[in-house]
Amino acid sequence: MEERGWAYRRRQPEGTVLYEVVRDPLATLLAEASEVGRGLPRYVERDFARYLECGVLAHGFARVRCESCKDELLVAFSCKGRGVCPSCNAKRAHVTAVHLVERVLPRVPYRQWTLSFPHRVRWVLLKEAGLLSDVLTLFLRAVFALQRRRARRQGLRGGQVGAVSFIQFFGSALQVTPHFHSLVQDGVFVPGERGVRFEALPPPAQGEVEQLLRVVRHRVLRLLEKRGALPAQGPEDALQAYQAHSLQQRLRWTEVDVRPPPRKQPRCALLEGFSLHANTHLHANDRQGLERLCRYGARGALALERLSRAEDGRIAWRMKRPLPDGTTHLLFTGLELLRRLASLVPPPRANLTRFHGVFAPGAKVRPFLLPQAGAEPGLEEESPAFAATVEEPSKERTPRLDWAGLLRRRFALDVFACLRCGGRRRVLAYVKGAGGVRAIVEHLGLPTASAHLAPARGPPQPRGPSPLPRP
C-alpha cells in the first residue's frame, strides 16, 4: 500500500460497562438457558453476538479517502440491532424522528396518548405477538371514535383522524412492560372541494379520558377472553421465563413496601391496572418538540450514561426519578442484567412504529398531508384551519437520512470534510471479505480478532429467587 495517514473510528469501544456485561457472562447465560425448554430464541443470541461485533474493524469497514491529501479513514460497520446496542438504537430513533417530522406529520397540533396494561395482560401480549397489533388497533379505534364524536359536537361532519404509534417493550427501570405511545392530531381533517382542511378541537375533558379507558379496558379483556388467552399459560422457554421474572419484580417503594397512591394529573386515568395518559400536547409550530417526542417513542431500552460500575463490582442503573425512599440506582450482577436485557430484545419482523388512519400508507388523503405539500406560507400561527394543496402527489420514494446527514444535522459535523486539509472525502470501498479485512488491519497493527467470550461458569449463588425453574 502507498504511504498515507491512516485513522480508524470505533462505534462501541471495548472497556465500556455494557460491553463487559455482555461479553463476560454471555456464555453462562446461554448455557443456563439451554437447560430450559427450547432455550433462548435465535434472534436474542444473534442480537448479543452482533453487538459484540459492532464497531470492530475485524468484521469489516468502509474506506473513506480525502480527494486532496489522500488521508484515509476506516469506519467500522455497525450491527443495526434493535435490542442491546445503544448506539444503533439511538441512530434509528433519530432517523425515524426526522423522517416522521419532515415526511409524514403535517404542521398541526398533536397530543400523545399513552396506554399501559396490568401485569396479567402484559404477559399475554408478550406471549402472543399477534395480539399486540390487535390491541393497538382496538385502542386507536376508540380514540378515533372519540375524536369524531367531539368533532360532530362542533358541527364538523366527515372528519378523519390519524395516528403514529410507537410500541415499547420496556420501562425506565429495565422491566418488561409492553405499552403504546400514540401521536394523534388534536383535531380532525375534513375533506372538501378545495382539498383537505384541518379543524382543531379543544382538549379532551377528564371525564372523556376516563370513559375512554373504561371502553378500552372492556374491549381488551373481551378480546383476550375470546381468543382464550386468559388465564395465561406459564413460560415455555428461557426467554419467557426471563420475561415472567421481570414482570413479577416490584420496585421497593417504602420501608414497609407500600406503594403510595398515584398523583392526580389532568387527562390521566387509572382503572384496574390499565393506565391512560393524554396530557402531553404540542403546538402546531413546535416542530422541535415533535421531533423530540418522536425520538422518545422510537428510543431503545438502554442509555450508556445511566450505566455505571458500583464499588462492590455490581452494575448500577440510574433511575429516571428517585423512589419515595430515596433510592436512585438499581443494582445488578452481570448475569442478572443480561437476563433483563434478553427479555427486552424485540422479536424480529415486528414493526415498532405503526401508522393508522390518514397516516396509513394506503390512505387516500395522506399524500396531500405531507409537510412539503402542507401549510401555506402565509398561514398564521393562530389560524384554526390548515389547507392542504390538491396537487398531484409525487410517487417517488425519498431516501431516509443517511449516517453523514444525521451527524451533520445533530452535531453540525461534516464527516466528509477532511480535518487535515479541508478537502472532501468520499467512500472508496466497503471491505467485507475476511482476507481483505485482515490484510489492512494487520498492516495498521490493529487487533484482528473479535471479542472472546468468557467461559461459562457454574450456577451462581442467587441473591434472590432464580428466574429459571430448576429440574
HEC profile of the chain: CCCCCEEEECCCCCCCHHHHHHHCCHHHHHHHHCCCECCCCHHHHHHHHHHHHCCCHHHCEEEEEECCCCCEEEEECCCCCCCCCHHHHHHHHHHHHHHHHHHHCCCCCEEEEEEECCHHHHHHHHHCHHHHHHHHHHHHHHHHHHHHHHHHHCCCCCCECEEEEEEEEECCCCCEEEEEEEEEECEEEEEECCEEEEEECCCCCHHHHHHHHHHHHHHHHHHHHHCCCCCCCCCCEHHHHHHHHHHHCCCCCCCCCCCCCCCCCCCEEEECCEEEEEEEEECCCCHHHHHHHHHHHHCCCCCHHHEEECCCCCEEEECCCCCCCCCCEEEECHHHHHHHHHHHCCCCCCCCEEEEECCCCCCCCHHHHCHHHCCCCCCCCCCCEEEECCCCCCCCCCCCCCHHHHHHHHHCCCCCECCCCCCEEEEEEEECCHHHHHHHHHHCCCCCCCCCCCCCCCCCCCCCCCCCCCC
Rounded to an integer, the average pLDDT of 214-229 is 92
Q: Report the pLDDT value the prediction gives residue 446, as an integer from 0 to 100.
A: 78
The domain segmentation of the chain, as residue ranges, is: 6-79+403-443, 88-308+338-388
Across the chain, what does the average pLDDT equal? Answer: 82
Rounded to an integer, the average pLDDT of 141-162 is 94
Rounded to an integer, the average pLDDT of 139-160 is 94
Q: Report the pLDDT value the prediction gives residue 270, as an integer from 0 to 100.
A: 94
Q: Report the pLDDT value the prediction gives residue 352, as an integer from 0 to 100.
A: 93
Higher-pLDDT residue of 232 and 414 is 414
Residues paired with 318 in a beta bridge: 329
Q: Report the pLDDT value the prediction gives residue 4, as an integer from 0 to 100.
A: 45
- 48-62, 255-269, 409-423, 442-456 — most confident range: 48-62
Higher-pLDDT residue of 344 and 402 is 344
Q: Report the pLDDT value the prediction gives residue 387, as an integer from 0 to 100.
A: 46
Q: Report the pLDDT value the prediction gives residue 257, as an integer from 0 to 100.
A: 44
Higher-pLDDT residue of 175 and 378 is 175
Q: Report the pLDDT value the prediction gives residue 436, as an integer from 0 to 100.
A: 86
Q: Report the pLDDT value the prediction gives residue 261, as an integer from 0 to 100.
A: 53
Rounded to an integer, the average pLDDT of 210-215 is 96
Higher-pLDDT residue of 325 and 443 is 443
Q: Report the pLDDT value the prediction gives residue 251, as an integer from 0 to 100.
A: 52
Residues 29-45: tens digit of each pLDDT: 988 888 877 788 899 99
Q: Is the pLDDT of residue 293 over 90?
A: yes
Higher-pLDDT residue of 385 and 443 is 443
Band (pLDDT 50/70/90 cuts) for residue 160 is: very high
Rounded to an integer, the average pLDDT of 144-172 is 93
Band (pLDDT 50/70/90 cuts) for residue 380 is: very low
Band (pLDDT 50/70/90 cuts) for residue 262 is: low
Least confidently predicted of 106-120, 212-226, 269-283, 431-445: 431-445
Rounded to an integer, the average pLDDT of 382-403 is 52
Q: Report the pLDDT value the prediction gives residue 255, as an integer from 0 to 100.
A: 42
Q: Report the pLDDT value the prediction gives residue 367, as an integer from 0 to 100.
A: 82
Q: Is the pLDDT of residue 448 over 90?
A: no
Band (pLDDT 50/70/90 cuts) for residue 278 is: very high
Least confidently predicted of 213-227, 258-272, 322-336: 258-272
CA distance 268 to 275: 8
* Global confidence as pTM: 0.85
Residues paired with 197 in a beta bridge: 190, 387
Residues 93-148: tens digit of each pLDDT: 999 999 999 889 999 999 999 999 998 898 888 887 789 999 999 999 999 999 99
Band (pLDDT 50/70/90 cuts) for residue 454 is: confident
- Percent of the chain clearing pLDDT 90 (strictly above): 36
Which are the contacts of 22, defined by CB distance < 8 A and separation ≥ 6?
48, 51, 52, 84, 338, 341
Q: Report the pLDDT value the prediction gives residue 1, as an integer from 0 to 100.
A: 35
Residues 71-97: tens digit of each pLDDT: 888 888 888 888 899 888 988 999 999
Q: Is the pLDDT of residue 14 over 70?
A: no
CA dihedral 443, 446, 450, 454 (to 10 degrees): 140
